[in-house]
Structures are given as structure tokens and as C-alpha cells.
A and B are shown apart, each in its own frame.
Chain A
Amino acid sequence: MPRWFYQLASPRWCYQITGKLLPGFSIAALFLIVGGTIWGLAFAPPDYQQGNSFRIIYLHVPTAYMAQSIYITMAIAGAIGLIWKMKVADMVAKCCAPIGASLAILALATGAIWGKPTWGSWWVWDARLTSMLILLFLYFGIMALNSAIESESTAAQSTAILALVGLVNIPIIQYSVDWWNTLHQPSTFKITEKPAMPPEMWIPLLILVIGFYCFFAVTLMMRLRNEILRRERRTSWVRELLMQQRG
């Protein structure tokens, strides 16, 4: 494995590097999200069918993508923690869960609110909506396990296994609209084709998706730093750091 992989394993090194990355990512997230939102809300044209309710896409699509991407991140971090017994990987996985859960709730809520004026219903049990709800339950299960199990290493192991078992849900969410008859429409962004909307509509959407990835990086790093301080509180480098805070 390359050297940087083992460097990542040091909580102290992670704390230092996240400290350097936070300002840049925070500024990027702020500009991209605020800029993208203003563009999408005020400057993008309304949809010929849905009118202005279509603007909910600018929150619904980014949060839905994030809820899934964060889950994948959590599962990979959990797997790395399982295989290499790396504490930092366990910490990353643990910190991902509440962020992913809150964005999943946001995706489901904005979807329901969008569905009422367009479809005519807040909710249907089609494959896409149901699998997204399952994603939220997986997040809750992982968070519950983390708080229920006292030993940090056992908690990390159990939550990593649960995350990996649920990983198959992600392709189901993605392809549910292609494999089965659903009310939810096919995906907005497809890897091979350009989106079926004009640039004035999809460029702010892309800006927001990137902005949300930056936002995830920021909140993850903030939580990770807290977790590192907590677990390493008895080390001398943390002690020195705290003394600096006091002074």
C-alpha cells in the first residue's frame, strides 16, 4: 500500500491535514451552494409542465445523491477499518452516519413536497421511494448500533458489517426506475448521456451537487476532528493543543 495510506492511519496527521483543508472547502461550499441556489431559484426558467415547483429539484437531487454517496463512503471506510484495523477509518464511518441520515431525510421530505403538486400524492410505495426509505432506516440502524455498543472497536465492526450488508441497496435505488414500473421518473443525471434539460437548468444543478460534496467534506472533517480529539484526549499532542486553546 502506498505511504500516504499509512499516513492517513495516524489520527494526529488527519487532525492536522483536516485543519488545513477546512477553510478552502468551507469557502467553496458556501459560494457553490449560495450561488447555485440563487441561480436555480431566480434565474433558471420554469418547467413547461411543472412551472415553478420544478425548482425543488435544486435541493432534492443534490441531497438524494449525497445520501447515497455518503452511504458508500461510510461502507468503504467501514471495510477499510475492518480489513486494516484502522481507527481513523472507523471514525470516518461513524461520523458519516448522522450527516447521511439528515440528507436522506431532506431528500425524502423535498421529494414528498414536490410530489404533491406534480404527481398528486405525497407518497407511493414504488421501488425508488421505498428503497430510499430503506436507506434512511439503514442509517438509523447504524447510528443506533453505535450508541448501543460500548466498546468502540466492537461498535465499529458491527456497524461496518451492517453498512456492507446494506450496500446492495445503492444500485437498487439507482436502477429501480429502470428495472421496475415506478411513479418516480428516470434519473436526471445519467453517466453516458447528457441530462434531458437545457444548460440554464442543469448547470446550476451541477454547481449545487459539487457544492454539496464540498459541504459533506466540511461537516465530515468537523465531526472527524471532534472524534479524534475525544479518542486521543490522553495523548500528549492533544494535551499540547488544548493548552494552546486555553492560552
Chain B
Amino acid sequence: MSFDSFSDFLAMGGHAFYVWSCFALGLVVMLGNVIAPMLERKKLISEQLRRIRREEAKS
């Protein structure tokens, strides 16, 4: 460990704002990049299933 205590780790030697805002931003962007296609897939599948049901009902 490069830090003497957990509160030292959070303080980042006075640079806490800079380091943690970067990694918070990073987390948001990474999660967004994973969640967005997941949601899109759900939406796609349910839309297409609805379309198939409609076509089956018609025929």
C-alpha cells in the first residue's frame, strides 16, 4: 500500500478532487458504454417480438 491509512488514500495527498473526479467520470462513461447496448438489445427484442405477434395475428 502506498498510503498509511484509508483516509490518506481518499485524500490523495491533497489532490483528492482531481483524482477522484477523473475516476468517477471514468466509471460513469464505462458503465454507460455497457448499459446502453444492453438496454438497446432489450428494446430491439421486445419490438421485434411485438411485430411478429402482430403479423401472426393478421395471418
Interface residues of chain A, those whose CB is within 8 Å of chain B, are 33, 37, 41-46, 51-53, 55-56, 59-60, 63, 99, 102-103, 105-106, 109-110, 113-114, 116-117, 215, 218-219, 222-223, 225-226, 229-230, 233, 238-239, 242-243, 245-246
Chain B 13-52, CB within 8 Å of chain A: the 1/0 string?
Answer: 1110011011101100110111001101100110011011
Separation in Å of the B39 CB from the closest CB of chain A?
10
Q: Pick the contact of A114 from B2, B3, B18, B51 — CB < 8 Å?
A: B18
Min CB–CB distance A156 → chain B (angstroms): 19
Task: Identify which of A44, A114, A225 contacts B41 (C-beta below 8 A).
Answer: A225
* Chain B contacts to A: CB under 8 angstroms: 1-3, 9, 12-15, 18-19, 21-23, 25-26, 29-30, 32-34, 37-38, 40-41, 44-45, 48-49, 51-52
Contact sample, A vs B, 8 pairs, CB 8 Å cutoff: A37-B23, A42-B2, A53-B18, A60-B22, A102-B33, A106-B25, A226-B40, A229-B45
Nearest neighbor of A116 in chain B, beta-carbon distance: B18
Does A242 lie within 8 Å of B48, measured CB to CB?
yes
Residue of A nearest to B19 (CB): A55
Q: Which 9 A-B pairs have the closest CB atoms?
A: A222-B37, A53-B15, A52-B12, A52-B13, A110-B22, A51-B13, A59-B26, A219-B33, A52-B15
